[in-house]
A and B are shown apart, each in its own frame.
Chain A
Amino acid sequence: MNFCGVLAIYRFEMSRTRRTLIQSIFAPVVTTSLYFIVFGAAIGSRIQEVDGVSYGAFIVPGLIMLNLLTNGISNGSFGIYFPKFVGTVYEILSAPVSTFEIVLGYAGAAASKALLLGFIILLTASLFIELRIAHPLIMMAFLILTAISFSLLGFILGIWADNFEKLSVVPTLVITPLVFLGGSFYSTDMLPSFWQTVSLFNPVLYLVSGLRWSFYETSDVNVWASLGSVLLFLLICFITVVWIFKTGYKLRS
């Protein structure tokens, strides 16, 4: 195992975050604060409780997931896409590092950044509402598994994309709508039964619901179904990444 290689990639990616603190950390925090002000204070003041939880507190898991997903994908995709774009990927491909080690370095850094941001959002939320976390370990499991899964998805996206437009299309046009329609700001019980059924086909619903359960023990779907779905997604992403490196898809001629 080339630990030095993994550490080099990881440090390199993390140092990029340090160079872009405003974009990486402050911007999501400001955006999330706005969500709390608009949804939590303005709209939340007209909604008493959802599933026995104040509306401001209800939307916290959804907001964390929104940031975790979009940032996991953005960091994971940009980390590998940028070396491809500027040509420095030659160094990664000619280095004595295995597929697993490359993924560990890039997706590990992307997941770390997403997790860090998730915790910052959690802290920011605690400034607006009173938080309680019923199952911290389950919460950690959800956060870590989701961060890793979506960082891997970002990595796949970064390899697939051959321009910046493709790079942004999935976070903007796929993930954000799925998060908004995945019960981040409402309970599916509030929907007509037809749309409740449709929502069950939204994979993000399982993530938000599972994370919300770890906070308030209330969920739209069974927590184990949520955990199973995130594990399944992680497995699919990992197999895809292994396939990419085995075939050299868009990396090696």
Chain B
Amino acid sequence: MPAEKTKSDLMNGLEKADTPLIVLGNGQHAKCAGFIAKTHGLRTAKLRVGEAVVFQQGKSHNAAPMNDVVEPVLKISNLCKIYSGGFHALKNVSLEIGKGEIVALLGPNGAGKTTLISTICGIVRPTSGKVTVAGYDIVNDYRKTRSLIGLVPQELTTDSFETVFNTVSFSRGLFGRRPDPAHIERVLTSLSLWDRRDSKIITLSGGMKRRVLIAKALSHEPSVLFLDEPTAGVDVSLRKDMWQIVRELRESGVTVILTTHYIEEAEEIADRVGVINHGEIVLIEDKKTLMRKLGQKQLMLDLIEPLHEIPASLADFALDLTVNGKRLIYTFDTHEQRADITAFLDGIKSADIAFRDLQTSQSSLEEIFVNLVEGSSRRPPEREVEP
């Protein structure tokens, strides 16, 4: 049933019945509707995805109870890609990304990051599986999905002899949008390119070319933006500029999915972090949760008297002696062994070991990533010291 008709019918019904009513969309919204309706004594009805409206006493309100629910703008189910040579680039990848999220996909070279992005964007054909963007299938509704997506490729591929303004305008037209010089101006201004609008791309620096690619991807006002290693080969200053651009995009409601080798990048800007290796999503997790769950902590004791060996009473703890026996390091997983700190300190006291100082450190995302990819439990060599 068309949404407009449904709304109209509901509004008419409201006027007559004066009954509190909640009107919600499909998928997660619909599930949430049932729950909210039940707990608040409201009625429910379905509209299209994204048309979540709460009507109460005949007036419409923002869907406040929905705030915690994020409709997946991108949904990948059991996606597989086998290249003609037999290389299995993606193996049953499943993933959901909500509107307005920044998701970083980490993985070593050849892990499948670019294949995943290329498949969603239509450059690579999937072998099996399903991908939807805002509820539309990337194969059957490719026009709709591709018009919603912007892609910034890994390589600096540009039309060298074209001007900045023309190449960005070309991208807008290609994606089916009518010319809008005002929008192009806004995009170029936001990327500090407006002054170079008439410059040929061949005359621009690498950083500027990268920004031109972002401008091209934003020219048709996409709601999902893929950044394939956006800061590869970019200096530190420009990298930070890029991060700021990504944050601003998120604030404007754009969902950003980026692949990167730089853990620092994911740690800095991502809401969620996915790790992909050998074509499989090893893990996808809220960044903070990931660090909390998988991060290792270390408790370091600076001893007054050096130890030659770890006392037998402390053999159950993962301990290392460094600095000629003057530093005792206890490594533990934050989600499993936090309670053992007390036992460890009790053990230290029982063994009559005196220390002059103690400090703790937390695993960085990079260490977590390395552990996940290598599947090893070796301890990280460097740690950030917590205040």
Given contacts A248-B125, A253-B124, A253-B125, contact A92 B157 (CB under 8 A): no
- Give min CB distance, B167 to chain A, whole Å: 9
Residues of chain A at interface, number, CB under 8 A? 25
Is residue B142 contacting chain A, with contact meaning CB distance below 8 A?
A: yes
Given contacts A252-B123, A253-B124, contact A91 B173 (CB under 8 A): no
Is residue B159 contacting chain A, with contact meaning CB distance below 8 A?
A: yes
Is residue A86 contacting chain B, with contact meaning CB distance below 8 A?
A: yes
- Give min CB distance, A147 to chain B, whole Å: 24
Is residue B385 contacting chain A, with contact meaning CB distance below 8 A?
A: no
Is residue B328 contacting chain A, with contact meaning CB distance below 8 A?
A: no
Q: Is the CB of B143 within 8 A of A96?
A: yes
Q: In the complex, which residues of chain B have a beta carbon less than 8 angstroms from the beta carbon of A252?
A: 123-125
Q: Scoring B residues 264 to 282 as 1 if CB is less than 8 Å from chain A, else 0, what string do you get? A: 0000000000000000000
- Give min CB distance, B308 to chain A, whole Å: 60
Give bound CA distance, A248 to B145, whole Å. Answer: 19
Q: Scoring B residues 151 to 167 as 1 if CB is less than 8 Å from chain A, else 0, what string do you get? A: 10101011111100010
Is residue A7 contacting chain B, with contact meaning CB distance below 8 A?
A: yes
Given contacts A86-B157, A87-B153, contact A94 B170 (CB under 8 A): no
Give bound CA distance, A130 to B204, whole Å. Answer: 52
CB under 8 Å from chain B, chain A span 1-30: 2, 4-5, 7-9, 11-12, 15, 19
Is residue B29 contacting chain A, with contact meaning CB distance below 8 A?
A: no
Is residue A169 contacting chain B, with contact meaning CB distance below 8 A?
A: no
Q: In the complex, which residues of chain A have a beta carbon less than 8 angstroms from the beta carbon of B118?
A: 90, 253
- Give min CB distance, A92 to chain B, whole Å: 7
Q: Is the CB of B160 within 8 A of A86?
A: yes
Q: In the complex, which residues of chain B have a beta carbon less than 8 angstroms from the beta carbon of A87?
A: 153, 155, 157
Q: Scoring A residues 87 to 113 as 1 if CB is less than 8 Å from chain B, else 0, what string do you get? A: 110111111111000000000000000
Q: Is the CB of B153 within 8 A of A90?
A: yes
CB under 8 Å from chain B, chain A span 236-253: 248, 252-253
Give the segment of B39-47, B174-182, B232-240 that binds chain A. B174-182
Q: In the complex, which residues of chain B have a beta carbon less than 8 angstroms from the beta carbon of A96?
A: 142-147, 175-176
Q: Is the CB of B142 within 8 A of A90?
A: no
Give bound CA distance, A95 to B158, whole Å. Answer: 16
Q: Is the CB of B146 within 8 A of A91?
A: no
Closest B residue, CB atoms, query A247: B125
Closest A residue, CB atoms, query B179: A4
Identify which of A9, A15, A86, A248 contacts B174 (C-beta below 8 A): A9
Q: In the complex, which residues of chain A have a beta carbon less than 8 angstroms from the beta carbon of B155?
A: 87
Q: Is the CB of B83 within 8 A of A95?
A: no
CB under 8 Å from chain A, chain B span 110-140: 118, 121-125
- Give min CB distance, A88 to chain B, whole Å: 5
Closest A residue, CB atoms, query B157: A87
Given contacts A5-B176, A86-B160, contact A91 B171 (CB under 8 A): yes
Q: In the complex, which residues of chain A have a beta carbon less than 8 angstroms from the beta carbon of B193?
A: none
Give bound CA distance, A20 to B178, whole Å. Answer: 27
Q: Scoring B residues 53 to 91 as 1 if CB is less than 8 Å from chain A, else 0, what string do you get? A: 000000000000000000000000000000110000000
- Give min CB distance, A104 to chain B, whole Å: 13
Q: In the complex, which residues of chain B have a beta carbon less than 8 angstroms from the beta carbon of A2?
A: 143, 176
Given contacts A94-B146, A94-B149, A96-B142, contact A4 B173 (CB under 8 A): yes
Q: In the complex, which residues of chain A have a beta carbon less than 8 angstroms from the beta carbon of B175?
A: 4-5, 95-96
Is residue B216 contacting chain A, with contact meaning CB distance below 8 A?
A: yes
Q: In the complex, which residues of chain B have a beta carbon less than 8 angstroms from the beta carbon of A5?
A: 173-176
Q: Which of A4, A12, A94 has the most CB of B within 10 A?
A: A94
Q: Is the CB of B123 within 8 A of A19?
A: no
Give bound CA distance, A93 to B216, whole Å. Answer: 14
- Give min CB distance, B374 to chain A, whole Å: 28
Q: In the complex, which residues of chain B have a beta carbon less than 8 angstroms from the beta carbon of A90?
A: 118, 121, 123, 151, 153, 157
Give bound CA distance, A3 to B216, whole Å. Answer: 19
Q: In the complex, which residues of chain A have a beta carbon less than 8 angstroms from the beta carbon of B158?
A: 86, 88
Q: Which 7 A-B pairs have the closest CB atoms?
A: A8-B173, A87-B157, A96-B143, A96-B146, A94-B121, A2-B176, A95-B174
Instruction: Name 28 interchain pairs, CB-CB below 8 A, sorted by A.
Output: A2-B143, A4-B174, A4-B175, A5-B173, A5-B176, A8-B173, A8-B174, A11-B170, A11-B173, A86-B159, A86-B160, A87-B157, A88-B159, A90-B121, A90-B151, A90-B157, A91-B151, A91-B171, A94-B149, A94-B151, A95-B174, A96-B142, A96-B145, A97-B176, A98-B143, A252-B124, A253-B124, A253-B125
Q: Chain A residues in contact with chain B, CB under 8 A?
A: 2, 4-5, 7-9, 11-12, 15, 19, 86-88, 90-98, 248, 252-253
